[in-house]
Amino acid sequence: MTPGGAAEPPRPTAIGRFLAAGILPRIAVIVVGVPCLYLITRRGGVFFLGLVLLVILLGLREFYALMRSKGYRPFEPLGQAAAAAIAVYAWHQGIAVPLVLTSALLVIMVRELFRGELGHALGHMAVTVFGIMYVGWLGSHLVMLRQLPAASGAPDSVGAQMVFFAALVTWATDTGAYLAGIALGRHKLAPRISPKKTREGAVGGLVAAALVGWLCARGFAGFVTPLSGALLGLAAGVVGQLGDLVESLIKRDAGTKDTAELIPGHGGVLDRFDSLLFVVPVLYYWFRLVVV
């Protein structure tokens, strides 16, 4: 009974909490999206490049929309062109990436001279370049990771396996944190940045990532030992959650909950791939230095 004599409302069951948190749309997206990603990644080539370009261009569009809501005016066509060029040249092992970055930076600064206004010039240029680096450059590491083994003479299939490994440990982190947070979450992780995230959820994400990394090594990822797979999964869990918090910080500053409503239960492309944008570069350089 409450102090006023009214009966306390019934506490939701565990199933009720999961349903209220929107688990069904998430399951639907996983059932459809994971097989598609598997087939395209395994095929590789221009098909995988096209998928990455789609993710980068949609994600960058969402980022620039967030910046416009803050009052900035990014040069979106130039940013999109630069991000796409980076991904394409990354497919060719990055020989012209410095040229693209340098050219984009110079053109953005010169273009600002002709805008016709002096206020917030630095902000307009900064958010344009940051979007290229955040979404375009980090996202291009998906292509670089897919191409990495073949460039060193290893079987092309190993590149697909590396992408699968990165994607699976990242999604394990997200799913483990989501489920543990709903079931066990009590203590806030970063309430000023993302009020719904909990410490219990973060731990659940790390455990899930380490377990999936171990399972991948025991299954298809023969390029790492089970111990290395678990440790890399754990590292990916840490980095992925930092990436999620960074995107939450950007959305919090822009005053919005999701970057878009494109993916049911997930928000926009940037909401779905924010963790992967952090995980893939870390794994790429690790595999490049240690494995390949």
pLDDT in tens, 238-282: 999 999 999 999 988 888 776 666 555 556 888 889 999 999 999
Residue 9 clears pLDDT 80, i.e. is over it? no
Q: For residue range 99-110, what is the model confidence (pLDDT) as tens digits?
A: 788 888 888 888
Tokens of 83: 């991000």
Tokens of 51: 């998928």
C-alpha of 172 from chain center: 13
Q: Is 208 left (phi over 0), alpha (psi -120 to 50) or beta?
A: alpha
* pLDDT on residue 204: 95
pLDDT confidence bin for 176, thresholds 50/70/90 = very high
* pLDDT on residue 3: 53
Phi then psi dihedrals of residue 267, to 5 deg: 90, -130
CB 87 within 8 A of CB 56: yes
Neighbours of 79 (CB within 10 A): 26
Q: What is the pTM of this model?
A: 0.86
* pLDDT on residue 35: 82
Kindly provide the residue ranges of all beta strands, DSSP E only, lying in the chain, ordered along the sequence: 188-190, 194-198
pLDDT confidence bin for 118, thresholds 50/70/90 = low
Residues 6+ apart with CB under 8 A from 15: none
Q: For residue range 190-201, what is the model confidence (pLDDT) as tens digits?
A: 888 888 899 999
* pLDDT on residue 93: 65
Q: At what angle do helices 23-43 and 45-69 cross, to 10 degrees?
A: 140
Q: At what angle do helices 76-91 and 121-131 cross, to 10 degrees?
A: 30
Residue 59 clears pLDDT 70, i.e. is over it? yes
How large is the average pLDDT for residues 135-159? 90
Residue 206 clears pLDDT 70, i.e. is over it? yes
Phi then psi dihedrals of residue 87, to 5 deg: -65, -40
